[in-house]
Copies of this chain bind each other. A is one copy, B any other.
Amino acid sequence: MNKKFFTVGPTELFPEVAEMYKGAAAEGFFSVSHRSKEFEEINEETVNSLTTLLSIPEDFYVFFLSSATECMERIIENTVEKKSFHFINGYFAERFYNIAVQLKKEAGFVRADFGGGFDFEAADVPNDAEIICITHNETSTGTALPLDDIYELKKRNPDKIIALDVVTSVPYYPLDFNFIDTAFFSVQKGFGLPPGLGVMICRKSLIEKTKYLLARNINIGTYNNFIKLAANADKNQTTMTPNIPSIFLLGKISDLLIEKGIDNVRSETDKKANLIYGFFDKHDSIKPFVKDTALRSKTTIVLETELDVMKVLEKIEYNGFVLSKGYGDFKSRHIRIGNFPVHRQEDVSNLIYLFRKF
A196 contacts which of B33, B73, B99, B245 (Cβ < 8 Å)? B245
A13 contacts which of B5, B31, B240 (Cβ < 8 Å)? B31
A186 contacts which of B3, B194, B241, B322 (Cβ < 8 Å)? B241
Hey, which bits of chain A sit against chain B, CB under 8 A?
1-3, 5, 7, 9-13, 17-19, 21-22, 25-28, 30-34, 65-70, 72-73, 95, 98-99, 102-104, 186, 188, 194-197, 217, 219-225, 239-246, 322, 324
A18 contacts which of B21, B197, B225, B324 (Cβ < 8 Å)? B21
The answer to whether A30 touches B242 (Cβ under 8 A) is: no
The answer to whether B25 touches A22 (Cβ under 8 A) is: no
Contacts A18-B21, A73-B221, A103-B219; is A30 near B240 (CB within 8 Å)?
no
In the assembled complex, which residues on chain B have CB atoms less than 8 Å from the CB atom of A19? 22
The answer to whether A31 touches B222 (Cβ under 8 A) is: no
13 example contacts (A-B, Cβ-Cβ < 8 A) are as follows A5-B31, A5-B32, A10-B244, A11-B31, A18-B25, A22-B22, A65-B66, A66-B66, A73-B221, A99-B223, A102-B220, A194-B244, A196-B244
The answer to whether A30 touches B1 (Cβ under 8 A) is: no
In the assembled complex, which residues on chain B have CB atoms less than 8 Å from the CB atom of A31? 5, 7, 10-13, 194, 322
The answer to whether A223 touches B3 (Cβ under 8 A) is: no
CA distance A30 to B246 in the complex (A): 12
Q: How many copies does the complex hold?
A: 2
The answer to whether A240 touches B34 (Cβ under 8 A) is: no
The answer to whether A240 touches B3 (Cβ under 8 A) is: no
In the assembled complex, which residues on chain B have CB atoms less than 8 Å from the CB atom of A65? 66
The answer to whether B25 touches A13 (Cβ under 8 A) is: yes
CA distance A65 to B240 in the complex (A): 13
In the assembled complex, which residues on chain B have CB atoms less than 8 Å from the CB atom of A21? 18, 21-22, 25
In the assembled complex, which residues on chain B have CB atoms less than 8 Å from the CB atom of A223? 69-70, 72-73, 95, 99
Shortest CB distance A101–B (Å): 9
CA distance A28 to B3 in the complex (A): 7
In the assembled complex, which residues on chain B have CB atoms less than 8 Å from the CB atom of A67? 66, 240-242
A17 contacts which of B13, B25, B224, B246 (Cβ < 8 Å)? B25
The answer to whether A195 touches B69 (Cβ under 8 A) is: no
Please provide the 6 A-B residue pairs with the shortest distance between their CB atoms, ordered closest to farther: A196-B243, A66-B66, A30-B194, A5-B31, A18-B22, A69-B240
In the assembled complex, which residues on chain B have CB atoms less than 8 Å from the CB atom of A2? 26
The answer to whether B17 touches A195 (Cβ under 8 A) is: no
- With both beta carbons as reference points, the residue of chain B lying nearest to A31 in the complex is identified as B5
In the assembled complex, which residues on chain B have CB atoms less than 8 Å from the CB atom of A188? 241
CA distance A268 to B188 in the complex (A): 39
CA distance A102 to B99 in the complex (A): 20
In the assembled complex, which residues on chain B have CB atoms less than 8 Å from the CB atom of A68? 240
A245 contacts which of B104, B241, B245 (Cβ < 8 Å)? B245
Shortest CB distance A27–B (Å): 5
Contacts A13-B30, A13-B31, A244-B10; is A66 near B70 (CB within 8 Å)?
yes
In the assembled complex, which residues on chain B have CB atoms less than 8 Å from the CB atom of A217? 104
CA distance A13 to B242 in the complex (A): 16
The answer to whether B10 touches A26 (Cβ under 8 A) is: no
